[in-house]
Amino acid sequence: MSDISSANPAVSSAPLGGPVTMARALNEGLRQAMEDDPKVVIMGEDVGRLGGVFRITDGLQKDFGEDRVIDTPLAESAIIGTAVGLALRGYRPVCEIQFDGFVFPGFDQIVSQVAKIHNRAAGLVRMPITIRIPFGGGIGAIEHHSESPETYFAHTPGLRVVSCSSPSDAYWMIQEAIASDDPVVFFEPKRQYHAAKLPIEPAGTPLDQARVVRPGRDVTVVAYGPTVATALTAAETLKVDGVEAEVIDLRSMSPLDMPTLLDSVRRTGRMVIVHEAPQSFGIGSEIAARVTEQAFYSLEAPVLRVTGFDTPYPPSRLEHDWLPNLDRLLDAVDRIMEF
Amino acid sequence: MTEHVRAVHPEPNMVQLLTPEGQRVEHPDYPLDITDDEIAALYRDLVLVRRIDSEAIALQRQGELGLWASLLGQEAAQIGSGRALKRHDMAFPTYREHGVAWCRDVDALTLLGLYRGTNLGGWDPLANNFNLYTIVIGAQTLHATGYAMGVVRDGAVGTGDPERDTAVLAFFGDGASSQGDVNEAFVWAGAGNLPIVFFCQNNQWAISEPVERQSRVPLFQRAAGFGFPGVRVDGNDVLACLAVTRKHLDNARNAQGPSLIEAFTYRMNPHTTNDDPRRYRALSEAETWKLKDPIERVRAYLTREARVEPEFFAAVEAESLEMAEYVRAGCRAIPDPTPESVFDNVYVDLPDELREQREEFASFVKSVSA
């Protein structure tokens, strides 16, 4: 196990060596975290021999052994609940929830235990647990396989909630999440797993910071996870019409990096937030409320939200209409520019 | 209400080493090598935890505690199992294991904060290897299972080194036995051959629901379906609880996997100080269980069989009076936390957005009190 890097030199040099997919970047990030800290264990359904249904943990059990990459019984509450016990024993568990819609059997353990134990113990114990959840739609899946449940967790004090949108962020953020002494719910945009090969940057951005991924002066578009790609495409399209959109990758939904958001909207005067999760009480709603409270006199127009509708996730033949796609985002930007 | 005593008839094969009349009896599977001095020490434990419990109830009546979950009637189950633990073993309680806390050297006052409303627990689970009280029933059985997974990964099981081999003791009740988490814990512990003993205090009542509402079979028999041994013990017999728990903890430490112990006992008091059992159970039931009192049988044994001098009982009584005074005075001295402390320990480092909320709140509090 100690000879992994020498046995497989491609693995240790790949992240910084050439472009990789997000799936590969996550795999390499997990591998690095396991090499850096022997207390890191990966647990979940099919994560071992199979390497996960998305192959994010591919090869890790072979290299780190069954004690560190654990194929668990099929019980989400137990995946989370036993991670609590492992954390008490000094381990740093990384739980994989197979699909977004399967997190709810583990919801009680996440919100009532993982999120609260540090507080319950008056700070005397820590819960360094990472909960990885592939999320979002657009892959033609059946029910429960395309959801965006991030709001439930962002609403829960004690959790950090983040999402990556690029291979480089995936690589760095998963390592930061695992190193965090707070519990982190880590949302991976499954549609982006194999979307593009991109280089890994030499260093990451702190986990709780948003990032301006494209500067612009006319309108701020806030996205995270799968919608960052949509926002960047929209910005390219808008440029043709002479509209310079600033795209912010939120990265952290809890806590929210308000200074970055406020700095941008004070310059542009307009903000559109785009996410796949249903609209009401969502991340966009919270950002709109805070921007209204803290930058009211900078706003040229009401903050707009482009989101999934307040309906159950639709059957897959309808998902591309339901999802906040490029057309709906461009329409919103048109409206906010004309306001 | 139907007058029935269904809860008082255990299975005939229930393990008992000390009858309600105070007679020592033997059980072929659970021999117990114990001196009269050690039995006297258990008697002291039982009396003192009952005293802590009754003081806490009084403090609730006086408004010093918001709530209390009484252990009355379950002292033997808790002291017997608690004294079976070794220092490096780990215990995962519900919210009623005041007797186990006592065995883990957790100060009685430490338990009061969450019932007084001054904190949510606030102790270090690893300081005495006694986890925080967990109020969502059954949730802690998964935490215990995960801890046992850690013990295995640490190589602290089956080495033959008594200072190293470690077991985990997970407490829950008859009501929690219906929870998915408890059943998931059984699945994981069985499949993983984990060093854990599940200790179910079947006190017959989950608030108002009798154990028949939870199960078609005696609870200890559930273990068979998960592939590990289950045993029912007289939960009012401290010697049987000690012997049975000790043996199954040893099995766990020796890498023989999990066990389920069902301690057959009775919750003599209401579920908590807020409950009114007159609405759902006959008083005669408790009267019947009084004859099986966990302390009286030890006292009878010590008096008649061990010929312990009256001075011993007087000394324990004096100590229990001191304990009562300690709990009373200590409880009243627990200060209220400051309002701003709600922001402490939500995260390891306070995020900026919470810092702002705290500052806003602090200035608001200051403005209205000025």
Lowest-confidence region among A16-20, A229-233, B177-181: A16-20
- The partner residues of B10 in beta bridges, in order of sequence, read none
Count residue pairs from A and B with Cβ separation < 8 A.
145
Phi, psi dihedral angles at A187 (to 5 degrees)? -95, 125
Phi, psi dihedral angles at B79 (to 5 degrees)? -70, -40
Q: Quick one: how far is CA A7 from the chain centroid?
A: 32
B184 touches chain A (CB under 8 A): yes
B182 touches chain A (CB under 8 A): no
Contact criterion met (CB below 8 Å) for B234 and B240: yes
pLDDT of residue A16: 60
First to last CA, chain B: 58
Count other C-beta atoms under 10 Å from residue B276's C-beta.
9
Contacts of B166 in chain A (CB under 8 A): none
Token pair in block for residue B21: 């009349």
Nearest neighbour of A81 by CB, restricted to B121, B139, B151: B139
Phi, psi dihedral angles at A252 (to 5 degrees)? -115, 120
Contact criterion met (CB below 8 Å) for A214 and A264: no
Contact criterion met (CB below 8 Å) for B147 and A88: yes
CB contact under 8 A, A121 and B125: yes
- Quote the minimal CA–CA distance from A149 to chain B in Å: 21
pLDDT, mean of residues B287-316: 97
Cα distance between residue A256 and residue A290, in whole Å: 10
B125 touches chain A (CB under 8 A): yes
Residue pLDDT, tens place only, A264-319 = 999 999 999 999 999 999 999 999 999 999 999 999 999 999 999 999 999 999 99
- Quote the minimal CA–CA distance from A15 to chain B in Å: 30
Contacts of B338 in chain A (CB under 8 A): none
Token pair in block for residue A154: 């962002």
B342 touches chain A (CB under 8 A): no
Residue pLDDT, tens place only, B338-358 = 999 999 999 999 999 999 999
| Sole residue written with tokens 């194929």 | A71
The ranges assigned to domains in chain B are: 6-337, 340-370
pLDDT of residue B55: 98
Which residue type does B362 have? A
Distances (CA, A) of B123 to A117, B70, B108: 11, 20, 12
Lowest-confidence region among A150-154, A313-317, B7-11, B95-99: B7-11
Q: How many residues in total does chain A contain? A: 339
pLDDT of residue B9: 55
What is the architecture, at CATH level 2, of domain B6-337?
3-Layer(aba) Sandwich (3.40)
Question: Which residue among the candidates A118, A145, A155, A275 is catalytic per the annotation?
Answer: A145
- Strand order across the B259-264 sheet: B90-92, B168-173, B196-202, B259-264, B230-234
Count other C-beta atoms under 10 Å from residue B368's C-beta.
7
CB contact under 8 A, B353 and A86: no
B111 touches chain A (CB under 8 A): no
Q: Which residue of A has its CA nearest to B341?
A: A122
In this predicted structure, the answer to whether residue A322 has a pLDDT above a threshold of 70 is yes
Residue pLDDT, tens place only, A221-252 = 999 999 999 999 999 999 999 999 999 999 99
Report the topology of domain A211-338: Rossmann fold (3.40.50)
Cα distance between residue A51 and residue A67, in whole Å: 15
Q: How many residues in total does chain B contain? A: 370
Identify from B123, B147, B154, B157 which residue to disrupt to test chain A contact, counting A C-beta atoms within 10 A and taking the largest count: B147
- CA-angle at A224, arms to A221 and A229, nearest 5°: 75
Which residue type does A28 have? E
| Sole residue written with tokens 């117990």 | B32
Phi, psi dihedral angles at A106 (to 5 degrees)? -95, 5
- The partner residues of B261 in beta bridges, in order of sequence, read B199, B231
CB contact under 8 A, B139 and A109: yes
Phi, psi dihedral angles at B290 (to 5 degrees)? -60, -30
CB interface of B with A, residues 206-265, below 8 Å: none
Report the topology of domain A4-192: Rossmann fold (3.40.50)
Contacts of B149 in chain A (CB under 8 A): 70, 82, 85-86, 89
CB contact under 8 A, B124 and A87: no
A275 is catalytic: no
- The partner residues of B18 in beta bridges, in order of sequence, read B24
Cα distance between residue B340 and residue A41, in whole Å: 36
- pLDDT band of residue B369 (cuts 50, 70, 90) is confident
Which residue type does A20 have? V
Q: Which residue of B has its CA nearest to A256?
A: B353
The ranges assigned to domains in chain A are: 4-192, 211-338
Cα distance between residue A98 and residue A193, in whole Å: 14
Nearest neighbour of B352 by CB, restricted to A91, A116, A255: A255
From the list A118, A48, A127, the residue with the least C-alpha distance to A92 is: A127
Contact criterion met (CB below 8 Å) for B126 and A125: yes
* Sheet strands (E) in chain A: 40-44, 69-71, 92-96, 130-135, 160-163, 184-189, 211-214, 219-223, 245-249, 252-254, 271-278, 304-308
- The partner residues of A40 in beta bridges, in order of sequence, read A92
CB contact under 8 A, B143 and A160: no
Give A318's DSSP letter: G
In this predicted structure, the answer to whether residue B231 has a pLDDT above a threshold of 60 is yes
- pLDDT band of residue A17 (cuts 50, 70, 90) is confident
pLDDT, mean of residues A161-171: 98
In this predicted structure, the answer to whether residue A3 has a pLDDT above a threshold of 90 is no
CB contact under 8 A, A86 and B146: yes
pLDDT, mean of residues B356-365: 95
Mean pLDDT of all residues belonging to chain B: 96
| CA neighbours closer than 13 Å in the CB half-sphere of residue B365 | 10
Q: Which residue of B has its CA nearest to A110?
A: B139
From the list A175, A232, A229, A165, the residue with the least C-alpha distance to A206 is: A175
What kind and span of H or E run contains B201? strand B196-202
In this predicted structure, the answer to whether residue A5 has a pLDDT above a threshold of 50 is no
CB contact under 8 A, B139 and A125: no
pLDDT of residue B12: 65
Q: Which residue of B has its CA nearest to A91?
A: B150
Nearest neighbour of B151 by CB, restricted to A84, A89, A182: A89
Q: Kindly give the interhelix angle for B36-61 and B75-82, rounded to the nearest 10 degrees.
A: 130
* Cβ-proximal residues to B207 (8 Å cutoff; 6+ apart), any chain: B175, B271, B275
pLDDT of residue B13: 79
Contacts of B134 in chain A (CB under 8 A): 113
pLDDT of residue B11: 61
CB contact under 8 A, B120 and A181: no
Coil/strand/helix, residue B70: coil
- Quote the minimal CA–CA distance from B257 to chain A in Å: 17
- CA-angle at B205, arms to B131 and B231, nearest 5°: 65
Q: One fold for both A4-192 and A211-338? A: yes
In this predicted structure, the answer to whether residue A13 has a pLDDT above a threshold of 50 is no
